[in-house]
Every structure is written in structure tokens, then in C-alpha cells.
Structure 1
Amino acid sequence: MRASRRLLTTGTWSPPAVPPDQGHTAVTAEFTIARRLPTGGAGPEDVAFDQDGHVLTGLDDGRIVRIDPGTGQRSVVGSTGGRPLGLHPSRDQSVLICDHDRGLLRMSATGDVEVLVDTVAGTALRFASNVTEHDDGTIWFTVSSRRWDLANYLGDVFEHSCTGLLVQRAPDGTVTVLRGGLKFANGLTLAPDQSHLLFAETEGYRVSRYWLTGAKAGTTEPVVENLPGLPDNISVGSDGLIWVSIAAPRNALLDRLLPLPGVLRTLAWNLPSALRPKPTPIAWVMAFDLAGDLICDLRCDDGSYDFVTSVAERNGVVVAGSLHATEIVQITLPGQ
């Protein structure tokens, strides 16, 4: 899709000013790697704990890999035949997978793949990003962009297309778009009491709540706004915190470009890659309580790991993945 070099002229946005850096507060510590867990491949974009405490991740060659964080032992569950991104272990030992190329999939414990959704609103589903599931079998997933693919995701960042979706698949297979116009919809998780969804918009610098029950059902409200970085995948840990992977810090030049007419952003997009605004290498995760208060902020820019696209916590074990890495890492929490 890189051949489509002209951006839409719509989609201007004036981002709020970057918030004051909280890097010197007591909740902030170094992003310290306790253990590296090789995946046997490349591009572990998402990480998720299964019921046995093993970590599942998807690789750029289509494989779904299960890794024991204690021993590092790994096994291949199966292959999607596409590019798996977000995933969610189901109670029946199957795995729900957002595959960039093929749509929403379910992989059985024996590796068999079933396509659950491959079209949305009459259009082929591309760039499905992350997925979660209710106890009653309802599935929700995000779509990051309807115009750009993973290889050219920065095109969407420059264009600010706001074509992201939050989609529901009912147990009977009915597919409903719950929210459109999202700013690169990405990470998605279900609250512990299943009363609401939490989802990240990478280009909106925010995490929002979509209510499923109660008087606010069907409405959306902010949980964390004006993040200092670009949120990617998110998860709720056994500690009850919302863990947010921050792929990169905000880019001041990009923030200045976004309010400008599309023709000017097209010029910037068509600059040689070395001259275009690009992500600053950093390893960064944040954790918030359900009220949106910052609890933990771990970051490091020494090059030991970067472009963190996912993070998950289970019983004090925190692991992170990166679209650009060949391994996932276990992080040391403050006080451990």
C-alpha cells in the first residue's frame, strides 16, 4: 500500500500539549529485563498468559508459540497462515487471534484454524488488531485502520485517517460495529467484572472505556487521556491494573504536522524515510488503576529492548513483546 503515496486531505487534529514528564516520581523505575525468552522467530507483537501461566505470542511467519516463562521452554501451537497480531486465550484451550491478513480466527488446542470474521460491513477485514472475550461467548475486537496495512502503519499516523473500529461478534455470529472513527484502535481488554471494555487509540494518545452494562451501556468515556507516548496493546493483570505498552514517545514534529492540511503532511510522508518523523527507540510500559491513576511507569532507552507493543502481568510476573524483536522479555517490578 506504500504506492498510495497521497494522503487524504481530511483528518486534521490538534493534539493536546505533551503532559509534564513524570519520570522523576516515585512510581517510575527502570525498565529492567530479568529474563529474555527467545521465541524461535521474529515479531512477537502481542503477549498473553494462558490458564496455565504460559505465555502465548504470534510471530511474523504465522506461528503461534507457547512459552513457559519459568523455563523458557517453547512449543508451536499452530500457524494462522497470515500475520497474527493480538490474541486471547479462551477457557476451552483455544486461542482467539486477530490476524492482519485473514481476520478474526480461532485456533484449537491442536492447531486447527477457524475463520470467525473475515468481512465487516461488507468489506474484507484487514488489520484486525486485538481481541477479548466475555464468559457468554461474545467476542470483541479492534481494527486499527481501513486504509493502511501493518507495513505502512506510519501512513495512517501521518494521515490520521480515524478509520479504526471497535467490533462485536455475538455468540450467534452476528457482527456489529460498536464504534467507528477511532484513532488507530489497538489494544483491547475486558474489565475484571466484565462491565466494560478498555481500548487504546494509538493516534489518540488515550485509553477509553466502553460500557457494556448499567445505565451507561453503549457509551464511551476516557480513562487515561493525553498520554506522553503511543499506547499499543493493553491488558488487565491479576493485580487489577491496566497494563499499557508504550511503543514510542510522542513526536513533537508529528504533533506539529497533524493540525496542518493534508497536502503538507503528504509532503512530509513522501520525504525519504531518514527524514520523516519516526519512533524514538525506548522500552516503556505503564500501569494504571481502573480509575486511570498512574501506578507504575517503567522505561529505559539504553537499547536493550525497544518498541514495546504488548505487556501482560500474572501473579507478579510481567512480560513484554515487541514487533521488532525476536524474543519476549520478563520485566523486574520495583521492589522485586
Structure 2
Amino acid sequence: MAVCSPVTRPLTVLGVPGPGAEDVLVAGDGTVWTGTADGCIHAVDPEGAGTRRVVRTGGRPLGLEWLPDGRLLVCDARRGLLAVRPDDGHLEELVTEVDGVPLRFVNNAAAAEDGTIWFTDSSRRFGIEQWEDDLMQHTCTGRLLRRSPTGHVETVLDGLAFANGVALAADESAVYVAETALRRVRRVGLVDGRPLAGHEPGQAGRSSAPSDGGLLCADLPGYPDNISRGSDGLVWVTVAAPPDPALGMLQRSPGLVRTLARRVPQVAKPRPRRSVRVVAVDAGGTVVHDLGADAAGWHMATGVREQDGRVWLGSLAEPAIAWLPVDAG
């Protein structure tokens, strides 16, 4: 992907009563949903008229998605995969462990029409509080998982370099998953809701390289976080921060060097630079939109939803969500 400057758009910021509004999800009536670091799920009026706290999960909600039955699917980094009724906040645990091992870092998901859920576990070694350590250690222990409508869970891709955002193609012929550390989005072809040959569960191995070269896009202009399919049919990809040369060099270093880097004081570790950026690609990986905004008052876009020409953004770093228009007019 050719790196160029994004088209700048004005940014509208809406505060929420909690830190780190990491993802966004838009309901049919325009209400925007988000989860914050204090464990709360909020419903936000899109015109800034206020917010409503729906439930506190007791964990750390990240990715949000709609289930076919109208419930809110919540990727809780600490608790696992949850389902929440939006009217009364009733909460149900869907997946808390895989193969008898508790999930460590559930991050993002996409739900098919038949109820199949595709979701990521970013790391087997580090939790949400140490996400930067996983990037520096370059553990490549992330996974793309599939929960069938009957509740059976299996691993589709293993060895991912910080598995993150998930999205389905409009016709559900493919599932896409972001690898933050490698600045790319992987593509897994599907037939009848199952991975094509070469991506069968248990055959993916633990390599960080695609088993069949299946990439939607690579060499992104920064580190991708959540991704989603917009109302325009495009796959929208957040770019949480520009590439960091120091982080790249550390990831290429011997394992001992990466381990010792954990002992470096926090102030000396690589930190994300302030930016606001999001790109949209078609099914062939061609960039259709590359949008940015002034990052002085709000930064680090980690969640994205395009709805009728308005691009909603969440942020791991901000107590607010934001939106920008796709078109200048």
C-alpha cells in the first residue's frame, strides 16, 4: 500500500462518562454504543444530547458488534465474549475459555447472519494492561477464533502478530482480521460459513506468515486496530498510530533483547504518536478512502463504524468518541 498523506476532515468530539471509549457501534436509530475502561457500556446520542449507562461488565469491554437476535456482542478483554440485552443490560457469558484455557485478551468480533461469531484473542502471554509489551515482545501468540451457532469454539488462525479487528465481507465469502504488529489485514476465504481448504481449524499452525498469501491489505500507513464493514460495503480500518522505527527495530531484535526491553522505564519505551487516521478498502484491497483529522484535541482512533457517510471513531486513549464526514460537503 502506497503511503501518502490522508485527506483532512473536520472532527466532532462527543464526551462519554468514562476513560478509553475503545470501540463504537451504531444502532438503527442512530444511537452510538461504546465501552470504557471502567467496565461500562454506554449508549450515546449522536447529536450530543447525552449518554446512558446500560451495564457494567466487571471487566474491560473492547470490540462491540450486533448479534442477529438484537443483543450486543461485547469483547471483554478480561471476561471473554459476552452478550448484553440493550434494553435492560442483562448479561450472558458466551465464551470464557478455549480448550480449557481461559481467554487472556479478547479484542474484536464480527457476527454472521446465522449467529456464527468470529473473534480475536490478541495474545496468550499478555493482557490488556500490557498490550504494549506484547507489541515489543512480538510474541505472535494471537488467534482468530470461530464460535458456531451451537456454541462450539475452534481456532481458525494461530500465531498472529497481535490479532485485532475482525470484519466479514458483505456476502460472508471472507472474514478479515487485522494484525497490528505487522501492519496488515489478513483474509480467510469462506464457504458456507467455514474456512476454505488451507485454513481448516488445526491446520493454521503458529507461523506469522499467511499460509496461502491471503491478505486484504499490507504495508498500512500505521498500526491497524479495529476494523468493520461500513454501510457503503467497504472495509474500514483504523490506523491507531503511525509506524514507529524504534518499535520495528525492537521487533526484529533477538528474543533476549526484546525481553530486556521490558525492564526499560515506561517513559523510555516506544509510545504511539498522536494522530487520527482511518482508511477504507474494497474487497480487492484497493484504498478508496484515506481520511485524517487534527489530533490536537482527540487522538488514537481504535474503533470505526461508517454509517451513511459519517465515520464514527472510538479511542483507547480518550474519554470521548468522535466522528468525521467521508465527503468534504
Q: Which amino acid is the alignment partner of residue 29 of structure 2?
A: D
Instruction: State whether residues 67 and 115 of structure 2, in contact with CA within 8 Å, keep that contact through their aligned partners in structure 1.
Output: no
What's 1:79 paired with?
A: 56
Alpha-carbon shift at residue 267 of structure 1 (Å) = 2.9
3-state SS of 2:266 partner: coil
**Aligned partners of 1:147 and 1:298: how far apart in 2?**
34
Aligned pairs for 1:53-132 within 5 A: 53-109=30-86, 110-132=88-110
Instruction: State whether residues 229 and 305 of structure 2, in contact with CA within 8 Å, keep that contact through their aligned partners in structure 1.
Output: yes
Alpha carbons of structure 1 residues 217 and 30: separation in structure 2 relative to 1, 3 Å: same
Farther-moved stretch of structure 1 (232-241 vs 261-270): 261-270
What's 2:188 paired with?
A: 210
Identity of aligned residues (%): 40
**Aligned partners of 1:187 and 1:21: how far apart in 2?**
21
Q: Which amino acid is the alignment partner of residue 94 of structure 2?
A: L
TM-score of the aligned structures, taking structure 2 as reference length: 0.90
Give the superposed CA RMSD.
Answer: 1.8
Question: What per-residue deviation string (whole Å, max 9, x for no partner) do you get for residues 263-284 of structure 1?
Answer: 1122333222222222111111
Q: Which amino acid is the alignment partner of residue 22 of structure 1?
A: C
Aligned pairs for 1:19-30 within 5 A: 21-23=3-5, 28-30=6-8
Tell me which of 136, 140, 159 is aligned to 2:137.
Answer: 159
Q: Which amino acid is the alignment partner of residue 323 of structure 2?
A: Q
Instruction: State whether residues 84 and 99 of structure 1, in contact with CA within 8 Å, keep that contact through their aligned partners in structure 2.
Output: yes
3-state SS of 1:52 partner: coil
Q: Which amino acid is the alignment partner of residue 163 of structure 2?
A: A
Q: Which amino acid is the alignment partner of residue 35 of structure 2?
A: G
What's 1:249 paired with?
A: 242
Question: What per-residue deviation string (whole Å, max 9, x for no partner) do you get for residues 131-189 of structure 1?
Answer: 11111111111010110111111111111111101111111111111111011110001
Note if 1:263 corresponds to 2:263: no
3-state SS of 1:267 partner: helix
Aligned pairs for 1:2-13 within 5 A: none
Note if 1:38 corresponds to 2:15: yes
Instruction: State whether residues 51 and 91 of structure 1, in contact with CA within 8 Å, keep that contact through their aligned partners in structure 2.
Output: no
Q: Which amino acid is the alignment partner of residue 284 of structure 1?
A: R
Alpha-carbon shift at residue 228 of structure 1 (Å) = 2.1
3-state SS of 2:171 partner: coil
**Aligned partners of 1:264 and 1:122: how far apart in 2?**
32
**Aligned partners of 1:104 and 1:91: how far apart in 2?**
15
Alpha-carbon shift at residue 216 of structure 1 (Å) = 7.1
Note if 1:193 corresponds to 2:171: yes
Alpha carbons of structure 1 residues 324 and 216: separation in structure 2 relative to 1, 3 Å: closer
Question: What per-residue deviation string (whole Å, max 9, x for no partner) do you get for residues 241-289 of structure 1?
Answer: 1111111111112212222211112233322222222211111111111
Question: What per-residue deviation string (whole Å, max 9, x for no partner) do you get for residues 180-200 of structure 1?
Answer: 101111000111111111110
Instruction: State whether residues 43 and 51 of structure 2, in contact with CA within 8 Å, keep that contact through their aligned partners in structure 1.
Output: yes
Q: Which runs of 5+ in 1 are unaligned?
A: 1-18
3-state SS of 1:264 partner: helix
3-state SS of 1:240 partner: coil
Instruction: State whether residues 49 and 89 of structure 1, in contact with CA within 8 Å, keep that contact through their aligned partners in structure 2.
Output: no
